Amino acid sequence: MTSTASTRKTLVIGAGSWGTALAATASLNSDTLLWCRHSEQADIINKTHYNPRYLSDCLLPDTLRATHRLDEAVTHLSQSPEQSLIILGVPVAGMVETCTQWFQLLQAHNLSHIPIVWTCKGFAQDSAQLPHEIVQTHSQFPHIGVLSGPSFAREVVQQLPVALTIASHSQHTLDTTTQILHSHFCRIYQSDDVIGVEVGGALKNIIAIACGIADGLSLGHNARAALITRGLAEITRLGTAMGGIPTTFAGLTGLGDLVLTATGDLSRNRQVGLAIAQGKTLNEILASGMTAEGVRSARDTLKRAQSLHIEMPITEAICQVLFENMPARIAVQQLLTREAKQEIL
């Protein structure tokens, strides 16, 4: 790590797969601290350079440190607040608690001006809010952004090539995130379309479940291509209705993320679809420990779309399969037998 990089400070909150992967990446260009909820996890990471709970077979950089102490996290950021970055590696379900707790803590130490970016994807249950709406509702961070793109955490830890997008209305957030994460294997693009990036990330998970179902039913490559294409049409319709920029959905956080999640075997959402096609119930899938943001946010995505009078046939079919006990094969048949019409994006 160069002397310039050592003056930059990164705090990653949440030691799950993606938080761990981004902490490892950030440690190449900055002095990085990974905050863990459990002290045992932090201790093992520091001693062995392996995360015992997530990506447990992936060696982490020697320079990456972990802690479970809030005071140590604050001290870390205080050393260079103008060159610091905070990354939230928590799911949508944990955003309210995380934003509330950390904003109060950072505000008390005059550190709430540090850029904070999140990686979670989906609409919040009950409120149907996107992550940026949650952040704005429950905190007053002035420099915020979303980091997204086609990426599996395991491949990022292994330093395989990846391209990500940071979206923010704050140039300070864009520049700081780029300086800390851009590296020989990680290319960072900048955008100001926060809504478009978040909608793309949220809806691709639902389409990936549909593709998993189709593949699990051995419906062929043609069916998968149709679902991806028409799924992108649903993403674009809702995203533009909410204020997203149309071209965003043809980029990394739209088409790119959709293709990866719908076809990659490391995709948890795709695995949920495959399990459903095998006859497993949603309760059985969740009881096995498999979690996917597409399951959590499907109903709220549909609710948001209906409030805007946006037609979302694939999303609606997935909700029927997940929550109304509709057989997967019947749902696919109904999609295919819908009235013929002109193709509209």
CATH number of 204-337: 1.10.1040.10
pLDDT of residue 84: 97
Q: Please report the pLDDT score of residue 297 as a whole number.
A: 86
Q: Which residues contact 32 (CB under 8 A, 6 or more apart)?
A: 9, 10, 11, 12, 23, 26, 63, 64, 65
pLDDT at 345: 59
pLDDT bracket for residue 332 (50, 70, 90): confident
Asked if residues 308 and 238 have their Cβ atoms less than 8 Å apart, the reply is yes
pLDDT at 286: 85
d(C-alpha 25, C-alpha 9), whole Å? 13
Kindly report, residue by residue over 144-173, the tens digit of the pLDDT.
999 999 999 999 999 999 999 999 999 999
Phi, psi of 199 (to 5 degrees): -65, -40
Give CA–CA dist 203/195, Å, rounded: 12
- Per-residue pLDDT band for 334 (boundaries 50, 70, 90) equals confident
Spatial distance between the Cα atoms of 214 and 227, rounded to a whole number of angstroms: 9
pLDDT surpasses 70 at 206: yes
Q: Which two tokens stand for residue 255?
A: 């088409």
Domain ranges of the chain: 9-192, 204-337
Residues annotated within the binding site for sn-glycerol 3-phosphate are: 121, 149, 151, 204, 257, 267-269
C-alpha–C-alpha distance, residues 311 and 14, integer Å: 36
The pLDDT value recorded for residue 292 is: 78
244-295 confidence digits (pLDDT tens): 999 999 999 999 999 999 999 999 999 999 999 999 999 898 888 766 788 9
Tens digits of residue pLDDT in 46-67: 999 999 999 999 999 999 999 9
**What DSSP state is assigned to residue 185?**
S
DSSP state of 66: E
DSSP 300: H
Q: At what angle do helices 221-241 and 293-307 cross, to 10 degrees?
A: 50
How confident is the prediction for the chain on average, in pLDDT?
A: 93
Q: Is 303 one of the annotated active-site residues of the chain?
A: no
Which member of 47, 204, 280, 341 is catalytic?
A: 204
Give helix 131-138 / helix 194-216 axis angle, nearest 10°: 130
Q: What are phi and psi of 76, to 5 degrees?
A: -60, -50
The confidence score (pLDDT) of residue 294 equals 87
- Residue 337: the pLDDT is 76
Lowest mean pLDDT across 189-198, 242-251, 328-337:
328-337
Residues in contact with 9: Cβ distance below 8 Å, sequence separation at least 6, in sequence order: 30, 31, 32, 33, 76, 77, 79, 80, 81, 83, 84, 85
Above 70 in pLDDT, residue 2? no
Binding-site residues for NADPH:
17-18, 37-38, 54, 121, 153, 268, 293
The model's pTM: 0.93
> 9-192 in CATH: which number?
3.40.50.720
* 344 pLDDT more than 70: no
Q: What is the mean pLDDT of residues 137-149?
A: 95
Residues 6+ apart with CB under 8 A from 306: none
